[in-house]
Amino acid sequence: MFEYIVRRIVYGLLILLVMTVFTFVVMRLVPGDVVTLQLAQAGVVSEEQMAALKSEMGLDKPVWQQLLIWLKGALQGDLGNSLWSQQPVMDMIAKRLPVTLELVGLSVILSLLVGIPLGVVAAVKHGKWADQLIRVTAITGLSIPNFWLGLLIITFLSLWFGWIPPIAYRTFLEDPVVNLQKMILPALALAVTLSASTIRMTRSALLEVLHSDFIRTVRAKGASERIVIYKHALRNSLISVVTLVGLQIGILLGGTVVLEYIFSIPGMGSLIFETVSKRDYPVVQACVLIYGGMFILVNLLVDITYGWIDPRIRHQSSKA
């Protein structure tokens, strides 16, 4: 089991490295850079000034050298400074990351709270109208673009109730009411997609388990239907749901970009959006690293949970 975890962690780190190199190289391959953009605003500038600025930012060195410098810094916890605002990237991230985490966390909780029960109902009432209704709802939910949903919510809330979410952002600790008021709507919009997937996954996993021999034995023992469902079948299906969250977290994270933009939430999503167009390399690099890291971390946790649940992996002393 330990070996299993170690292998997974090493693999995750390797992927993180590949991903970092990939983004680093791509950013520098594409024409146009920070200096050109920044100076375009300042008006006409001489060649020497451009070269000096580039040198200051370390952009004149060969790509692989820049990569090594950045990696060295990153390993020591220094992610560099924003090329635009000179702020340390670490600080920017430290402020923005918790916001996005809160958003994602709220979405996941909402999705599971809505998705799992509905999925159970659909599976239990398999074939009846409740099942059909839930399934139609689910697939519709999957098809609706989350940002459109966000827009619709804002539009109709203000049209019908005259209410708009607060403009300024406050952290949860500062002002929980304002915070939730601001966060709940984008969290809902994000949650729709994930709940739809959760409903479908819970339903199909539960159906498969309910028809399995294992459950037939439990029923034959005379256990009541309720126990059958909750104690036995559900536990087995939850594994699939856990995996699903791991897979879908990528979509959720991607959704934060547009939704933070629409609802003016100062999180990682809006940060990466703002800085990519500006070619602010260090910030973008760090953002991609964080996003990728989150994705890898979540999947690592899923893998470990899997390994823990599956006794075959848990009790393996060496791999054959």
Partner 1 sequence: MAEASWLLEANGLKKYFPITKGIFSRPAGYVKAVDGVSFRIRPGETLGLVGESGCGKSTTGRMVLHLIRPTEGTVLYKGQDLGQMGAQQMREIRKRMQMIFQDPFSSLNPRMTVTEIIGEPLAIHRLSSGREKKERIAELLELVGLSKRDMGKYPHQFSGGQRQRIGIARALATNPELVVCDEAVSALDVSVQAQVLNLLKELQERLHLSYLFISHDLNVVKYISDRICVMYLGEIVEEADSEALFGKPLHPYTQALFSAVPNPDPMARKERILLKGEAPSAADLPSGCKFHPRCPKAMERCKTEAPALREVASGHQVACHLY
Partner 2 sequence: MKRKDVNGVAELSQPGLQLPAAQRAAPRSLFWDECKRFVRTQPTGALSLLFILLMTVTALLSPVLAPYEPDAQYRESIMVGPNADFWMGTDDLGRDVFSRILYGARISLYVGLVTVVLSVIFGTLLGVVSGYFGGIVDMVIQRVMDGIMAIPALILALFIAALLGPDTKHVILALVVVETPRFARIVRGEMLKIRETTYVEAAKAMGARAWRIMLRHGVPNMVAPLTVLASLAFGGAIIAEASLSFLGIGTPPPNPSWGLMLSGATRYMENAPWLVVFPGLALSLSVLAFNLLGDALRDYFDPRLPS
Q: Which partner, partner 1, partner 2, none, binds residue 75 by CB below 5 to 8 Å per kind? A: none
Q: Could you say which of 1, 3, 49, 235 contacts partner 1 (CB under 8 A)?
A: 3
Using the rule CB under 8 A, is 318 a contact of partner 1?
A: yes
Q: Could you say which of 42, 159, 220, 320 contacts partner 1 (CB under 8 A)?
A: 320
- Residue range at the interface with partner 2 (CB under 8 A); choices 56-64, 112-120, 153-161, 310-318: 153-161
Q: Which partner, partner 1, partner 2, none, binds residue 3 by CB below 5 to 8 Å per kind? A: partner 1
Q: Which partner, partner 1, partner 2, none, binds residue 319 by CB below 5 to 8 Å per kind? A: partner 1
Q: How many helices (H) and strands (E) does the chain have?
A: 14, 0
Using the rule CB under 8 A, is 143 a contact of partner 2?
A: yes
Q: According to CB under 8 A, which residues from 3 to 42 bind partner 2?
A: 14-19, 21-23, 26-27, 30, 32
Burial 143-157 (b: 16+ CB within 10 A, else e): eeebbebbeebbeee
Of 171 and 204, which CB lies nearer to partner 2 in the complex structure? 204
Q: 42: exposed, middle or buried (C-beta count within 10 Å: 0-12, 13-18, 19+)?
A: exposed
Using the rule CB under 8 A, is 315 a contact of partner 1?
A: no
Q: Which partner, partner 2, partner 1, none, binds residue 73 by CB below 5 to 8 Å per kind? A: none
Q: ∠ CA(313), CA(316), CA(320), 5° rounding?
A: 105
Chain-centroid distance of CA 2 in Å reads 27
The total number of residues written for the chain in this structure: 320
The least distance separating partner 1 from the CB of residue 3, rounded to whole angstroms, comes to: 7
Using the rule CB under 8 A, is 319 a contact of partner 1?
A: yes
- Residue range at the interface with partner 2 (CB under 8 A); choices 81-89, 165-173, 181-189, 275-283: 275-283
The least distance separating partner 1 from the CB of residue 299, rounded to whole angstroms, comes to: 21
Burial 62-92 (b: 16+ CB within 10 A, else e): eeeebbeebeeebeeeebbbbbbeeeebeeb
User: Taking the chain, what is the end-to-end CA distance rounded to the nearest angstrom?
Assistant: 14
Q: Which residues 6+ apart lie within 8 Å of 66 measured at CB?
A: 24, 28, 58, 59
The least distance separating partner 1 from the CB of residue 304, rounded to whole angstroms, comes to: 18
Q: Specify the residue for token string 């997937």.
A: 197
158, 212 in Cβ contact below 8 A? no
**H or E, element range at 172:** none
CA dihedral 294, 295, 301, 306 (to 10 degrees): 170
- Residue range at the interface with partner 1 (CB under 8 A); choices 129-137, 175-183, 281-289, 312-320: 312-320
The least distance separating partner 1 from the CB of residue 246, rounded to whole angstroms, comes to: 24
Using the rule CB under 8 A, is 254 a contact of partner 2?
A: yes
Q: According to CB under 8 A, which residues from 180 to 219 bind partner 2?
A: 204, 207-208, 211
Residue 267 phi, psi (nearest 5):
-115, -165
Integer CA distances (angstroms), 194 to 106, 149, 223, 252, in order: 12, 13, 33, 7
Q: According to CB under 8 A, which residues from 6 to 65 bind partner 1?
A: 7
For binding to partner 2 (CB under 8 A), which residues are involved?
14-19, 21-23, 26-27, 30, 32, 126, 139-140, 142-145, 147-148, 151-152, 154-156, 158-159, 204, 207-208, 211, 249-255, 257-258, 261-262, 272-273, 276-277, 279, 284, 288, 291-292, 295-296
Binding site for partner 1 (CB under 8 A): 3, 7, 318-320
